[in-house]
Amino acid sequence: MSPIGLIGLIIGIPSLVLLAYVFIRGSTGLRRYILTRIVMTLPMVFILGSLVFLIMRIIPGDPVRSQLGPKGTPEMVQQIRQQLGLNDPLIVQYGRFLGQMVTLRFGNSLIGGHRPIVNEMSERFPATLELVIPASVLALIIGIFGGALAASRRKRTMDYAWRIYAVVIYSLPIFWLGLMLQLFFGVRLNILPISGRIDPIIATTLIHRTNIYSIDALISGYWPALLSVLQHLILPTITLGLILSGVFVRLTRVNVIETLQMDYIAAARARGIREHILVYSHALKNALIPVITLIGLQVAILRAGAVLTETVFSWPGMGSYLVERISSRDYTAVQSVITVFALLVALISLAVDVIYSLVDPRVRY
């Protein structure tokens, strides 16, 4: 099975179990809502894919000339364009694109040996997944506990410090933060690698089963490879996670403060319950409901941030792949990546809505 197939099983099976549980135990309104969201996802992906198809053909540049360079003769250019179907009428190319999008096969790349795009994404998507997941966890840990701590120390030094942190960190350009971390920890202190996913020498001896190097190292019991992977993950994870944490700090703080002013919190205080228990055991649980909703909305921002992070750290993921293919005017690859991104955003947004309904039984659809 291909790496992307294994990842599909890892993501797909829990999602199917969650949807099955909701359809069995959920209300009729929730079932109707989920079906409506699934149906609405299809035209959304279709419209987005169509826009990318048109834009990529409007902007200047030719993928064949970009590949051949100045040595490509007009005869060679025309021959390759004919082989790739770029001389076909636009409506024919559009129909071919829709067929590829429906079947999720995506066709072959226009450059770099014309490899199947599914194979290229099988190599790149696991790298992005390996970066995005720990960065998201870091952002949530800092954001949730930092926001709760700020709310519990309202109008004190700790509160002001966290509020300043949230504004400053979210305002920083992600590429600048990445470069500063590289300069300090990689160049000045020379304690962390500044590019790549793993030491090149170790990579040649690692057995690639999923292309998620940390999992492959764990499966193989190859501990030097796992150490190398974790070292290479530190700087890009911190860069992406810190930038996203600012939003969660502000949202968590506001909702915890609002929850602490409710009657049941006042009654708990009257019973002598300690303040930290009120904040972290009572108020924080209810304050997390809007945060769960925000997680779905942050998926698109997370993808944009991953593109810049992967570019700065030479991380061979989907973001850097997209930048390379846009530069080369590889229409097919760009359309395919955007389609996959759109599907991921739609699925994660749907999953967040379902989890929201399970966390807060008061929600009715």
Looking at every residue in the chain, the average pLDDT score rounds to 79
Number of neighbours of residue 19 by Cβ within 10 angstroms: 17
Q: Has residue 185 got a pLDDT over 90?
A: yes
Residues 354/34, Cβ–Cβ less than 8 Å: yes
Report the pLDDT averaged over residues 191-217.
Answer: 87
Per-residue confidence band for 168, with pLDDT thresholds at 50, 70 and 90: very high
* Three-class secondary structure of residue 308 per DSSP: helix
pLDDT value, residue 235:
93
Total-model pTM: 0.80
DSSP secondary-structure letter at 69?
A: G
CA 332/CA 330 separation, integer angstroms: 6
pLDDT value, residue 162:
92
Q: Where are the domains of the chain?
A: 3-359
Number of neighbours of residue 172 by Cβ within 10 angstroms: 15
Q: What type of residue is 8? A: G
Percent of the chain with pLDDT over 90: 12
Which one has a higher pLDDT value, 190 or 48? Answer: 190
Phi, psi of 116 (to 5 degrees): -60, 135
Q: Tokens 């769960």 belong to which residue?
A: 292
CA 106/CA 72 separation, integer angstroms: 27
Q: What type of residue is 183? A: L
Which one has a higher pLDDT value, 344 or 145? Answer: 145
For the 3-359 domain, the top CATH level (class) is mainly alpha
CA 105/CA 107 separation, integer angstroms: 6
Q: Has residue 242 got a pLDDT over 60?
A: yes
CA 295/CA 348 separation, integer angstroms: 9
Which one has a higher pLDDT value, 148 or 109? Answer: 148
Q: Has residue 9 got a pLDDT over 60?
A: no
**SS3 per-residue string spanning 320-331:** HHHHHHHHCCCH
Residues 147/221, Cβ–Cβ less than 8 Å: no
Per-residue confidence band for 362, with pLDDT thresholds at 50, 70 and 90: low
Q: Has residue 102 got a pLDDT over 90?
A: no
CA 251/CA 288 separation, integer angstroms: 9
Number of neighbours of residue 34 by Cβ within 10 angstroms: 19
Which burial class, exposed, middle or buried, applies to 228 when counting CB atoms under 10 A from its CB (0-12, 13-18, 19+)?
buried
Residues 335/52, Cβ–Cβ less than 8 Å: yes
Per-residue confidence band for 304, with pLDDT thresholds at 50, 70 and 90: low
Q: Has residue 340 got a pLDDT over 90?
A: no
